[in-house]
Structure formats: structure tokens, C-alpha cells
Amino acid sequence: MENIYNKTIEELEKYLLNQDVKAFHAKQIFEWLYQKQVNDFHLMSNLSKNLISVIKNDFFIGNLKLKKKEEDIDVNKYLFELSDNHLIEAVLMKHNYGNSLCVSSQIGCNMGCSFCESGRLKKVRDLLPGEMIEQILLVEQDINERISSVVIMGIGEPFDNYDNVMKFIRIINHPFGLAIGARHITISTCGLVPGINKFALEPFQVNLALSLHAPNDDLRLKLMPIASVYKLKDIMQAIDEYIKKTNRRVTIEYLLLEDINDTEECAFELINLIKGKNVYVNLIPYNVTSNKNYKKSKKMQTDKFYDILIKNKINVTTRREFGTKITAACGQLRASEVEK
């Protein structure tokens, strides 16, 4: 049996036709699953008993369980348990323009970024589309509100799980699915060049974010092992090609670490790296973790870094801080639970 949340509407139509059932029932099933969010086939009142019996032989409706929840001002951190007892997490951020959910795409991560809790526990496996979708559904049910935007920036590297992530996007973007607009979906990569190149050919207008965090290869290598595989020259070339093909702006994510990448020299290096490109920089305050090597940049230094970029006509924002009173760093809640 398979989790029905793994199926696109086109796959469900094909399945029904193979069962000698009219394809239009796929639309009805999607509406029950995503618009009305029922978790029992028998509640799908416009389906015949015979059709429900057929579907139940091959599918079940979800199996993700909420294990733990932490709350702070305008942010909830969720720890979920999968059917194989592994743990993943998602973070809800409440903005004045709607609810944004940061979802995980893998159990653990092999990218090994030294500042990130997610990479401290290596990748166990990829998440299936349904396991990503259920993170959204369970959070919506918990808060009794709609999730209006999704960021694939939780545990895992999305382009290391490319096919499942693309299928997840197609399902949540579909008008009979969760109907989350493509421009309200962001996928974040640490710089997997083949993934960026492939993503540039996708038909939807989903946002791309690059986790840069350093303006030169030497510093980036100290922070992010992936820098030994993909140099900044190759990554920025892939970004240029992506912008050329899609005509879409790219977000440059830059985590500010005290006395490491927050210096004036780093700011000017960053300017030289991205000036003239259709990008904007999102400066991210560091959520302190068990890693004693890194500290959050002081406000004065953050402001100075920001001002240098502004004066050099770089589009830049500083991300609002969330979850300072909870284990809000990516992978932190999962790591603390696993290590218990």
C-alpha cells in the first residue's frame, strides 16, 4: 500500500483509468484530501462504496505524527515522527502577510555545513512527497489556519532529493491540491550546480534561494564542505544562467557569524561577487546552537554590514529573528531528541 499523498492528480487519474473508473474522480479525491482535509476515505461522500473499496486496497491516507511542539512569539517549532520512527521538523513563522512554513526534505543531511544542526546527524533517507505534504497539513490542522507560503529550507538539501521535491511542489501548487501559488514557494540550495541547472528548466515560477554565507571559496570551504565540489565561480555562473532562462530574481542567503563572515572586507567581497546581478541579499541572524565555534553577530556589526551593501546599491533585507527562546535553529530540535 502507498500513501495517497505521494500521488499527483495526473497519477491518480491514470490509476483510476486502470481500474476502469472515470478519471474525474481524481479531482474529487484531491478536493477531499487537500481542500476539506479528510483523513478517512469513507468520509468522501460523493464517491461510491465500490470506488472507496478499490482505493482502500491500494492506498492509505498519511502516517505522520506530531511528537513535540515548541512555541515562541510568532513561531512554532514542530517535531514529527515518521512511520519508520525517524524524526523530522518544520517551523511555522507568522507574518502580517500570512503563515509561512519551513519544511524538511530529508531525514538528516549530508552537506555537513559546520554552523548547521541539520548536518550534525547524517542523512538517513530522502523524504517522499507525501511526507513533505503532511508537514503542511498537520500544521494547518494545528493552528486551524491556512499556510500561505512554503520554504523548502528545513532539514536536508532539496536538490539532493530533486525528483521528490519537484513532485511535492507540483501537488501543493495544483489548484485542486493545496493551491499554494508558485511565487509563494521557495526552494533553498547550498549550491548544487547540477540542481540549479535542472531547476532552471522547470515550467513553474518557484523562487530560488542560494545559501551562500561566505563571499570567497576559502572561507566558504571552512563553513561548507560542498565548497570543495562546487566553486563560487561555477555556482554564480549557474545562477546567471538561471536568471537568464527564468528572468526571476534569486535570493542570496547570508548567515552572519561574529568575526567570521561579518567583516567590512567580507561585505565588499560580497558586493564584488553579486553586483549587477538580479539578486537580493537576505542577512540572517544566527540562532545559537550547541556549536561553541560560532556566535551571533553583534547588532552594530550587522548594521554596518547592511549599510555597506545599501550604499553600494545592493538590495538587502535583514531577516526578522524568530524563536530565540526555543530550539529554532534548523535541525536543533530533532538533534536534541535523537541524542536523548
Q: Which three cell numbers stand for residue 269?
A: 567581497
Cβ(318)–Cβ(304) below 8 Å: no
3-state secondary structure of 7: coil
Q: Is 89 a catalytic residue?
A: yes
Please give the span between the terminal C-alpha atoms of the chain, in angstroms, as a whole number.
33
Q: Which residue has the cell 539578486?
A: 279
Task: Work out the angle at residue 334's Cα, subtended by the Cα atoms of residues 63 and 213, and round it to the nearest 5 degrees.
Answer: 120
Of 113, 253, 330, 337, which residue is the catalytic one? Answer: 330
Q: Which three cell numbers stand for residue 9?
A: 492528480
- Give residue 288's pLDDT: 76
CATH number, domain 2-60? 1.10.150.530
Helix or strand holding residue 51 (H, E): helix 49-58
C-alpha Rg value of the chain to the nearest Å: 21
Which of 323, 324, 336 is CA-nearest to residue 91? 323
Q: Quick: pLDDT tens for 26-67.
A: 999 999 999 999 999 999 999 999 999 999 999 999 999 999
pLDDT tens for the chain, 340 residues: list them: 999 999 999 999 999 999 999 999 999 999 999 999 999 999 999 999 999 999 999 999 999 999 999 999 889 999 999 999 999 999 999 988 899 999 999 999 999 999 988 767 789 999 999 999 999 999 999 999 999 999 999 999 999 999 999 999 999 999 999 999 999 999 999 999 999 999 999 999 999 999 999 999 999 999 999 999 999 999 999 999 999 999 999 999 999 999 999 999 999 999 999 999 999 999 999 987 666 689 999 999 999 999 999 999 999 999 876 655 555 555 556 555 555 5
Q: Is-above-0.95 flag for pTM?
A: no
Domain ranges of the chain: 2-60, 65-338
In order, the DSSP letters of 94-162 are EETTEEEEEE--EES-SS--TT-SGGGS---EEPPHHHHHHHHHHHHHHHTS---EEEE-SSS-GGGGH
The phi, psi pair for 88, rounded to 5°, reads -135, 170
Q: Quick: pLDDT tens for 138-157.
A: 999 999 999 999 999 999 99
Q: Is 339 a catalytic residue?
A: no
| CB under 8 A, 24+ apart: contacts of 293-301 | 293/114, 294/114, 294/115, 294/257, 294/258, 294/260, 295/257, 295/258, 295/259, 296/256, 296/257, 296/258, 297/256, 297/257, 297/258, 297/262, 298/258, 301/256, 301/258, 301/262
The length of the chain in residues reads 340
Which of 230, 217, 208 is CA-nearest to residue 269? 217
Of 13, 89, 117, 131, which residue is the catalytic one? Answer: 89
Q: Which three cell numbers stand for residue 318?
A: 535583514
Task: Name the CATH superfamily housing domain 65-338.
Answer: Aldolase class I (3.20.20.70)
Q: Quick: pLDDT tens for 102-132.
A: 999 999 999 999 998 876 778 999 999 999 9
- Please state, in angstroms and rounded to a whole number, the distance separating the CA atoms of residues 287 and 111: 19
